């Protein structure tokens, strides 16, 4: 290994080690008695809700390509075919599905890898979202990323010209982004363990284990019959709080704690709060009871999520797909967020009136925003007649 490699920290770490939370752990960590992986992370309700919220929202947003000419943005045509039909020979794989899988891959693995196939004119004609766990990134001779992909046909090596790689959170010179599931394995393990423990608690009985005391000696058969009979009548959710009648001097003594002492509800709420913090989702959007405890309204919190949570994710997607748009440097791809910011009818009409009266929107532009057809004479811009410059003579 050369001196430059040692300075830049390019020394290979043993494959059987991974870093989580800044510490080294052995493979297959088993936190809180539960091993959380990228395959089962969405079995945690809050993780599923957070990932689905982002993926559904982004996938449902319209997107288009534009070109900037003399400072004016205009639609770029023809629009790339892959934006509407990512895989030409699979009409069921829609644009919605493509965007949904890209975002899901980013939020679970921390990386999205999109294979881009081009025609003879170097235009992208097909885009496929790869399984991130089947992609390994290595550095080439000059430090460029090389993507080693396991396919049905075998192992292939692809370059950055063939792969669009979108990391969610990368540090330093690392090509691969951090996996939220691996990086927060302790938090997710605790949430999953609490969820499983609660289910097992109700499955095995709503009271914890105890002892039935009987005076005298019992045979093994009598003890087994007593135990099975007591369990048959009192274990399970449907038999909770049934009255027990013990005869022959028998007495029941509970050994465990009460359910209130376990604080299961509080622990489950903590897991939801921690996952909401990891993914930057307001608690009320995860159906968390009492999630909005501040003085801000739900509308204000939703706008904050759009600005600080969803907005940066969309900006990352736009910048990554930028190079797939043919044309000059003035072409670009953009998502339309107007639907998420759409106000009430009265608020929209008031804003339209302000725009019309001050001359920066025409009647037809307003009608287009409301999905209405243009009218004759609607392309004119208005201006207030009683406003002018200081040196202008007042109108007669």
What are 149's strand-pairing partners? 135, 156
For residue range 31-72, list pLDDT tens digits in order. 667 888 999 999 999 999 999 999 999 999 999 999 988 888
Distance CA 343, CA 359 (A): 21
Q: Is pLDDT of 188 > 60?
A: yes
Task: Map residue 375 onto helix, strand or coil.
Answer: coil
Radius of gyration of the chain from its Cα atoms, rounded to whole angstroms: 30
Q: Nearest Cα to 49, choosing from 212, 275, 376?
A: 275
Ranges of each domain in the chain: 19-206+262-342, 209-255, 345-396
Distance CA 60, CA 197 (A): 36
What are 126's strand-pairing partners? 117
Taking the model in full, what pTM does it have? Answer: 0.73
Q: Is pLDDT of 114 > 80?
A: yes
Q: Is pLDDT of 23 > 50?
A: no
Strands in 63-69's sheet, in edge-to-edge order, are 72-75, 63-69, 331-335
Q: What is the mean pLDDT of the chain?
A: 81
Tokens 């007591």 — which residue?
Answer: 230
Question: By CB neighbour count within 10 A (0-12 exposed, 13-18 middle, 19+ buried), where does 369 fall?
Answer: middle
Distance CA 306, CA 341 (A): 9
Q: Over pLDDT 90: what percentage of the chain?
A: 41
For residue range 291-312, list pLDDT tens digits in order. 555 555 666 777 888 888 999 9
Q: Nearest Cα to 270, choosing from 32, 60, 38?
A: 32
Distance CA 366, CA 198 (A): 55
For residue range 161-178, list pLDDT tens digits in order. 999 999 999 998 889 999
DSSP secondary structure code for residue 28 in this structure: S
For residue range 253-287, list pLDDT tens digits in order. 665 555 555 566 777 888 899 999 999 999 888 87
**Least reliable range by pLDDT among 44-53, 110-119, 333-342:** 333-342
Q: Nearest Cα to 188, choosing from 278, 54, 305, 287?
A: 278
As given in the structure block, the two tokens for residue 175 are 């090509």
């Amino acid at each position: 290994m050369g001196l430059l490699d040692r300075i830049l920290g390019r020394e290979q770490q043993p494959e059987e080690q991974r870093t989580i939370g800044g510490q080294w752990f052995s493979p297959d960590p088993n936190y809180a008695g539960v091993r959380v992986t990228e395959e089962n992370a969405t079995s945690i309700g809050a993780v599923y809700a957070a990932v689905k919220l982002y993926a559904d929202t982004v996938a449902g947003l319209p997107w288009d390509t534009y070109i900037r000419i003399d400072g004016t943005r205009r639609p770029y045509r023809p629009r790339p075919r892959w934006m509407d039909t990512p895989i030409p020979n699979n009409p069921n794989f829609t644009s919605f599905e493509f965007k949904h899988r890209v975002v899901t891959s980013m939020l679970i693995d921390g990386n999205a890898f999109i294979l881009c196939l081009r025609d003879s004119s170097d235009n992208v004609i097909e885009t496929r979202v790869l399984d991130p766990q089947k992609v390994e990134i290595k550095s080439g001779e000059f430090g460029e990323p090389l993507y080693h992909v396991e396919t049905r046909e075998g192992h292939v090596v692809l370059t950055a010209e063939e792969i669009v790689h979108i990391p969610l959170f990368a540090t330093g010179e690392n090509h691969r982004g951090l996996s939220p599931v691996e990086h927060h394995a302790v938090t997710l393990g605790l949430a999953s363990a609490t969820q499983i423990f609660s289910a097992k608690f109700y499955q095995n009985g709503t009271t914890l284990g105890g002892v039935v005391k009987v005076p005298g000696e019992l045979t093994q058969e009598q003890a087994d019959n007593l135990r099975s009979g007591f369990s048959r009548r009192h274990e399970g959710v449907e038999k909770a709080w049934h009255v027990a009648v013990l005869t022959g001097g028998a007495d029941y003594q509970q050994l465990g704690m009460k359910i209130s002492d376990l604080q299961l509800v509080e622990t489950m709420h903590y897991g939801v709060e921690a996952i909401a913090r990891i993914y930057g989702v307001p608690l009320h959007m995860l159906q968390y009871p009492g999630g909005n405890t501040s003085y801000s309204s739900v509308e204000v919190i939703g706008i904050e999520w759009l600005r600080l949570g969803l907005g940066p994710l969309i900006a990352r997607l736009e910048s990554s797909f930028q190079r797939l748009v043919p044309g000059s440097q003035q072409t670009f791809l953009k998502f339309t967020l107007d639907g998420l910011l759409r106000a009430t009818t009265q608020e929209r009409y008031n804003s339209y009136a302000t725009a019309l009266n001050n001359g920066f929107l025409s009647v037809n532009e307003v009608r287009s925003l409301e999905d209405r057809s243009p009218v004759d004479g609607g392309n004119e811009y208005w201006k207030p007649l009683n406003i002018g410059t200081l040196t202008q003579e007042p109108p007669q």
